[in-house]
Amino acid sequence: GLPTRVRIHEVGARDGLQNEKVTVPTQVKAEFVRRLAGTGLTTIEATSFVHPKWVPQLADAEQLFPLVSGLPVELPVLVPNERGLDRALALGARRVAVFASATESFAKANLNRTVDEALAMFEPVVERAKADGDGVHVRGYLSMCFGDPWEGAVPVPQVVRVCRALLDMGCDELSLGDTIGVATPGHVLQLLAALNEEHVPTSVLGVHFHDTYGQALANTLAALQHGVTTVDASAGGLGGCPFAKSATGNLATEDLVWMLQGLGIDTGVDLGRLVATSAWMAGQLGRPSPSRTVRALSHE
Ligand code: HMG
Ligand code: MG
């Protein structure tokens, strides 16, 4: 059966913008996050505390975070290492995400580490986050869960091993990333079943689909039918990873909300406001939103 409620983890301000070539002014990013919060979204990934040379678009994390931290929503941020955690904690962040890879090629391209070196880098991050005050919530992203641009199809046991490692080090939740958008629903169900067999409960799993082949919604529906209730999406379908060839935009939050509304599944999101927000952001970026739902519902 399907869940009655889905928690949307909005990644537009982070995954959505990180790939934009032209630098978006900090004030525009802050306004984007504020407008997203005004739609009823409750978890809005704000930025990344990564090396500014690796992701120049998010080099303004220190300036942006204080502009939005007073909003009544959860504002997770990406932290690759202890330096990133220090920067996030200094600004009062209470939700962080580390980001691992299921493949060696992407671990090298994205983190300049092997898979296991990256896990070793995250270990003190998670430990210190959990020990900080009443505990900082830690999400563990896992990229390349289905296919990798250099290595092709990724064997399920390889993915399960890294999921297990992230949970064992103390991550509160996992997000299964289809970084380049090649997954199809059968593959999604295979991975979810394999994780359950290794005693990973579905309740800690979120799904993170990019929409390169137009499969993101179908994959999401399969995951929901399996019992997943956390879904990552990006307003307007913005996004992509600069370190993964052929990565395109994320599942558009509007397309997701349209489907969930039709299924009678509660998200707490006002679709009209969300469409208006993405249409506004598309204007800031100077090109139309790739989301079918945004195009269908926005009237310029
Ligand atoms: P490195 O070059 O190996 O860094 O990069 P290092 O550890 O050797 O340190 C070198 C210098 O960088 C040092 O400075 C550090 O202090 C500094 P120096 O002592 O030489 O003056 N440094 C930092 N400065 C600021 N903030 C930091 C930081 N860390 C080190 N956090 C590193 C390793 C991890 C830093 C680099 O590879 C990096 O920043 N990578 C980030 C890549 C990224 O953000 N990718 C996109 C997000 S992942 C994604 O999009 C996928 C996802 O959406 C899911 C999916 O779709 O699959 C999540
Ligand atoms: Mg992504």
**Residue 265: DSSP 8-state:** -
Active site residue 145: no
Q: Which of 145, 163, 171, 241 is catalytic?
A: 241
Residue nearest to atom 7 of ligand 1 (CA): 81
Decide if pLDDT at 246 tops 80: no
Q: Which two tokens stand for residue 235?
A: 């307003």
Question: What's the predicted TM-score (pTM) here?
Answer: 0.97
- Mean pLDDT to the nearest integer, 153-162: 98
* pLDDT of the residue at 268: 97
Torsion of Cα atoms, 127 then 129 then 131 then 135, to 10°: -130
Per-residue model confidence as pLDDT tens digits over 175-210: 999 999 999 999 999 999 999 999 999 999 999 999
pLDDT category, 300, cuts 50, 70, 90? low
User: Over the chain, what is the mean pLDDT?
Assistant: 96
pLDDT at 240: 74
Give the Å distance between the CA of 268 and the centre of ligand 2.
Answer: 23
Q: What is the pLDDT of residues 28-55, one digit of tens each?
A: 999 999 999 999 999 999 999 999 999 9
pLDDT exceeds cutoff 70 at 281: yes
Q: Is the pLDDT of residue 111 over 70?
A: yes
Distance 49 CA to ligand 2 centre (A): 16
Judge whether 143 and 99 are in contact, CB under 8 Å. Answer: yes
The interface predicted TM-score of the complex, written ipTM, equals 0.98
DSSP 57: G
* Pairwise CA distance, residues 159 & 194, whole Å: 10
Q: H helices within 91-114, ranges in order? A: 104-111
Task: Report pLDDT for 248.
Answer: 82
pLDDT of residue 239: 86
